[in-house]
Amino acid sequence: MADRSTQHSGFRCRKTLSCWFALAVLLVVSSFMICLNSTGRPHFVDRNLLPADKVFSVIEKANNPPRLPIEERAVNVEQPLFDEIEIRQEEKARDKCDPSNAVLKVYMYDMPPEFHFGLLDWKPDGKSVWPDIRANIPSYPGGLNLQHSIEYWLTLDLLSSNFPDRVGPCNAIRVYDSREADIIFVPFFSSLSYNRYSRVIPPETIFRDKLLQQKLVRYLASQKEWKRSGGKDHVIVAHHPNSMLDARSALFPCVFILSDFGRYNPKLANLEKDLIAPYKHLAKTFVNDSAGFDDRPTLLYFRGAIYRKEGGNIRQELFYLLRNEKDIYFSFGSIQGNGISTASQGMQSSKFCLNIAGDTPSSNRLFDAIASHCVPIIISDEIELPFEDVLDYSEFCVFVRSSDAIKEGFLMKLIRGIGREEWTRMWERLKEVDRYIEYQYPSREDDAVQMIWQALARKVPVIRQKVHRSRRFLRFPTGK
């Protein structure tokens, strides 16, 4: 059609300006027509601006389960289809959270509250096992408890992942049919359970944390989702090194979210299967940090107990090596209460912060240092670091082998040898990466919550492969 009209008007009026003009208009119109595809819609129009068409709404359906009241969701596993109005509503929410960009579909068990918000003294009102977090968010206890509060932030993020007015990103969305899910999330607040209930309170004869773990094992074993995969696609947060002590060996095929592997048998937990998550730092994040090399008078900052059990001997040795050096600040004990702002100030005015293995290879000190943009010196041979598949820690941390660190003069020579330029490069990088360790609700782009979901998404192909392999002989079982 476009060809015919060009031919038709091509040669009649050669010399007049208006003829050239007409030709130009024709060219524009015909090129526009060529741009149209078979549906009559131009290729270059952003499809987000168009009303939902058939293909589009199928994607939407897959990614946006209808928002039923929570109790109905729990009972009604088979989801009714979306209607047109619902799709339109989702379209509006698109600029805030785009579920079709989610990288992870998560099924979360509607477990009894005693496993999660009940541990925060929240009482269910009989309607749902979950609090209405839009009305009121049960708060997590402060102080040192907070450093392992990972379970809480992940659960809040999932509970809000389908809110129509959700702000911020949603790498993970909650689905209500477990067959659609990439992973199955177990909302047990295990660190809190350990922190609060690991002592026997008469008349009980066994502490509640242990009881809850036994209950959890029984609960999971009876779920069809667990039976289907043997737990391989289940995600369990056990960030406190002593949490899940009794249940870990029963649940080990799952993906654990941990602080390190210090207290785990390598068969139960390892880097290939599990995920390392940052501690929630206690020091304040240094916002708008302009305190560069010359604004930080202390060369090296150390905080922590000097005398530790297992693996912590090196602290003592280092203390005796370093105590007479200039520009070094030692602070003993952990930070809590009023100590937090003093510690923050200390780290914000130091160039380097020392992180030495204690009872366990990791500690929240590293994350306090990152938040304070104090270049971490890491002396911990067994440490595991969060998101190391996407983060190169050597860009903003200095690693020293324990065997080197205790050589007379080694550490100070190394540290004094790092000049302004090199230090500033690391400091600039710290200012970029500090958001990856931030836990908050609502979650923001690339904060710790989103980083964890993304890291889990990278594990999904391996998880799937394992689940499929384990199913080879299940369909037509051959007798033994």
Helices (H), 99-207: 150-159, 190-197
Build a one-symbol-per-residue string for 408-447: x at contacts with ligand NAG by CB under 6 A, - elsewhere. ----------------------------------------
* Choice between 38 and 288, CB closer to ligand NAG: 288
Q: Smallest gap, in angstroms, from Cβ of residue 289 to ligand NAG?
A: 10
Q: Smallest gap, in angstroms, from Cβ of residue 426 to ligand NAG?
A: 22
Region 130-159 residues binding ligand NAG, contact defined as CB under 6 A: none
Element (H, E) at 186: strand 183-186
Read off the DSSP letter of residue 222: T
Per residue, the 3-state secondary structure of 342-376, as one string, reads HHHHHHHCEEEEEEECCCCCCCCHHHHHHHCCCEE
* Choice between 53 and 428, CB closer to ligand NAG: 428
* Choice between 55 and 287, CB closer to ligand NAG: 287
Q: How far is CA 237 from the centre of its chain?
A: 11
Region 254-293 residues binding ligand NAG, contact defined as CB under 6 A: 287-288
* Choice between 288 and 338, CB closer to ligand NAG: 288
Residue nearest to ligand NAG (CB): 288
- Is residue 129 within 8 Å of 187, Cβ to Cβ? no
* Choice between 18 and 288, CB closer to ligand NAG: 288
* Choice between 284 and 466, CB closer to ligand NAG: 284
What are residue 331's DSSP bridge partners? 303
Beta-strand runs (E) in 278-415 = 298-303, 328-331, 350-356, 375-379, 398-399
Q: Smallest gap, in angstroms, from Cβ of residue 287 to ligand NAG?
A: 4
Residue 26 corresponds to which tokens in the numbers above? 């024709």
Size of the site for ligand NAG (CB under 6 A): 2
Q: Smallest gap, in angstroms, from Cβ of residue 77 to ligand NAG?
A: 47
Region 288-347 residues binding ligand NAG, contact defined as CB under 6 A: 288
* Choice between 135 and 287, CB closer to ligand NAG: 287
- Is residue 258 within 8 Å of 276, Cβ to Cβ? yes
Q: Smallest gap, in angstroms, from Cβ of residue 288 to ligand NAG?
A: 4
- Is residue 236 within 8 Å of 213, Cβ to Cβ? no
> Is 184 exposed, middle or buried, given 0-12, 13-18 or 19+ CB atoms closer than 10 A?
buried
Residue 281 corresponds to which tokens in the numbers above? 């730092």
Q: Smallest gap, in angstroms, from Cβ of residue 182 to ligand NAG?
A: 37
Q: Can you give the binding site for ligand NAG, defined by CB under 6 A? A: 287-288
